[in-house]
Amino acid sequence: MLGWRLIGEVPTEKQFLFVALPHTSNWDFIYGWLAVNSIGLKVQIFAKDTYFFFPANLVCKMLGVLPVNRRERTNFVDSVADLFDKHDELKLFIAPEGTRSYKPTLKSGYYYIAQKANIPLVVAGPNYQEKSFTILKPRNPMATFAEDEAQVIEFARSQNGRIPDKTFQ
C-alpha cells in the first residue's frame, strides 16, 4: 500500500455502505481504492457523471465506478437502496461531504440509504500524516441523522486529510 498501513478490521458483511472521509483531494480516491483492494474487498464507488466521457468512462467502468447526476434531483437514496435489494452482495463507497472543499456539515444521503436498505455503515478514511487508512467496525445508523452526523464528523476530526484546511478541524 505504498508505505501505508491499515488500522481496523476488514468488514465481513456481504452488504454495507463505506462512509469515506475526509475527502479533500482526488488522491483520496486513489489511496482509498488501493487500501480497499489491498485487503481484498470488491467495492463500488460513486462519481459525478461528468467523469463519464471517453476514454475515462472505460476506466470508470473497469473500476466499478457508478455515475451520479448531481445537477438535478434523481431520487438517489431510493435508487441506491434498490441496488442493495437487487444484490445479495454489495459494498459501496460514498463521500458524505459531497465535495472536496470544506463544509461544516455532511450530506444526509448516506444515512438514509443505510436506513432504507437496512444495511450497516462502515466509517473509514485516510490519515495522510500517519500514512494510515482506518476502518471502523460496521454499525447501524443512529436514531437520527444529527446523531449519526456528529459521530462521523468526530471520526473525520481524528484523521488528517491530504489538504487539512478542507476538512473538519
Distance, in Å, from the CA atom of 44 to the CA atom of 31, rounded to the nearest integer, reads 14
Ordered per-residue pLDDT tens for the chain, 169 residues: 578 888 999 899 999 999 988 888 888 777 777 788 888 888 877 777 777 888 888 888 887 777 776 556 668 888 889 889 999 999 988 888 767 777 778 989 999 999 999 999 999 999 989 999 999 999 999 999 999 999 999 999 999 888 888 877 6
Residue matched to cell numbers 501505508:
4
Per-residue pLDDT, 148: 97
Distance CA 143, CA 114 (A): 12
Output the pLDDT for position 119: 97
Rounded to 5 degrees, what angle do the CA atoms 10, 62, 110 make?
50
Q: What is the pLDDT of residue 102?
A: 74
Mode of pairing for the β-strands spanning 121-127 and 132-135: antiparallel
Pull the grid cell for residue 44. 463500488
| Cβ atoms of 166 and 128 closer than 8 Å | no
The pTM for the full model equals: 0.85
Residue of 113, 104, 85 whose CA lies nearest to 19: 113
Q: How far apart are CA 47 and CA 49, in angstroms?
A: 6
Report pLDDT for 155: 95
Domains present along the chain, CATH in parentheses: 5-166 (3.40.50)
Helix, strand, coil share (%) of the chain residues, nearest 5: 35, 20, 45
Query: Which pLDDT belongs to residue 71?
Result: 57
Provide the pLDDT for residue 135. Answer: 94
Backbone angles phi, psi at 80, to 5 degrees: -75, -40
What per-residue confidence (pLDDT) applies to 60? 80
Q: For residue 54, count CB atoms less than 10 angstroms from its CB and return exposed for 0-12, middle for 13-18, buried for 19 or more.
A: exposed
